[in-house]
Amino acid sequence: MLQVILTALGAYALIVISLFVFQRNLMYHTDSPPVPVQQSQVPQAEERFVRSRDGIEIRSWYLRPKDEKPVIVFFHGNAGTIADRDFKAGPWHADGYGVWLAGYRGFGGNAGSPTENGLYIDARAAIDALRNDGIAPNQMVLYGESLGSGIATQMAHELAEAGTPPLALVLEAPFTSMGDAAQARYPFVPARWLVKDRYRNIDKISAIDAPLFVIHGDQDRVIGQSHGRALYTAAKEPKKALWIDGGGHTDLFDFGAGQAVIEFIEDLE
């Protein structure tokens, strides 16, 4: 019996150690190659290369705004690339909005390996590039999808702390923190304490002085809707939410989320 217990403990320890060591491989899926913008649904987009402060060159796509409309700065989730989000950007640009599809280190052929701090550095480079193009933070809608909710929330928090909040923050299928999300996914290990890249949205959301729009489906099996509801509750007014019945983690645009974003921004304007 003692040998069985020791074997089980050894196997459990091996699982915990493996999750800790390889957690970034599980968190960031960086195996998608770059796609030429001409082969996308937004071939008119400019391919922009910005250099992060630690010297990594990041590829992004930029659709310029029309008639001084805001720019949606889009931070995508943990899999795929900016090319997989072209279907979101197209209708927004058709309505006149600018869209910056922000690339990350390690994704889509970009150099480097993703970490929480590294993706923040990449996001700052994107915002700086827009500022250099004459787009002020109060003309930017920061949009975070899934993992990107951690990046968008951090950028909105930093801009608010600097006294230059964005026009708005939109969070699609967001999480309260990566530790909370990991614990729900791996309940049999102390995942919350093993996570290196924490993305603690719940600690930042109440300090952001910008209108918030949360979109989350009640059938999300990756990040439960309870995360979005907790963030919504903690945030300041003005805020708005779209709780989608039947919506999962990646299909919210099938339920009209894209048009809802346009309506939200129009109300701000």
Spatial separation of the C-alpha atoms in residues 77 and 70, rounded to whole Å? 22
Which pair of tokens denotes residue 96?
């006149």
For range 192-216, the mean pLDDT: 96
pLDDT of 140-156, one tens digit each? Answer: 999 999 999 999 999 99
Q: Which domain holds residue 166?
A: 2-268
Provide the CATH number for the domain around residue 123. 3.40.50.1820
Residue 154 DSSP label: H
Q: What is the pLDDT of residue 6?
A: 62
Residue 269, pLDDT above cutoff 80:
no
5-59 pLDDT, tens digit each = 767 667 777 777 877 788 899 899 998 899 999 999 999 999 999 999 999 999 9
Q: What percent of the chain has pLDDT over 90?
A: 85
What is the pLDDT, as a whole number, of residue 2? 67
Cβ pair 160, 127 in contact under 8 A: no
Average pLDDT for 94-101: 98
Kindly report each contact of residues 15-21 with a partner whose C-beta sits within 8 Å and lies 24 or more positions away, as own/partner.
15/189, 16/189, 16/190, 16/194, 19/186, 19/189, 19/191, 19/194, 20/194
For the cut 90, the answer to whether the pLDDT of residue 4 exceeds it is no
What number of other Cβ atoms are within 10 A of residue 253's Cβ?
Answer: 18
Structure confidence at residue 207 (pLDDT): 97
Helix then strand then coil, in percent of the chain rounded to 5, is 45, 20, 40
Nearest-angstrom CA–CA distance, 61 and 51: 14
**pLDDT of res. 26:** 86
187, 171 in Cβ contact below 8 A? no
50-77: per-residue pLDDT in tens?
A: 999 999 999 999 999 999 999 999 999 9
What's the distance, CA 109 to chain centroid?
19
Counting the structural domains of the chain, the total is 1
Q: What is the pLDDT of residue 57?
A: 97
pTM of the model: 0.95
Contacts with 181 (C-beta within 8 Å, 6 or more apart), sequence order: 175, 223, 227
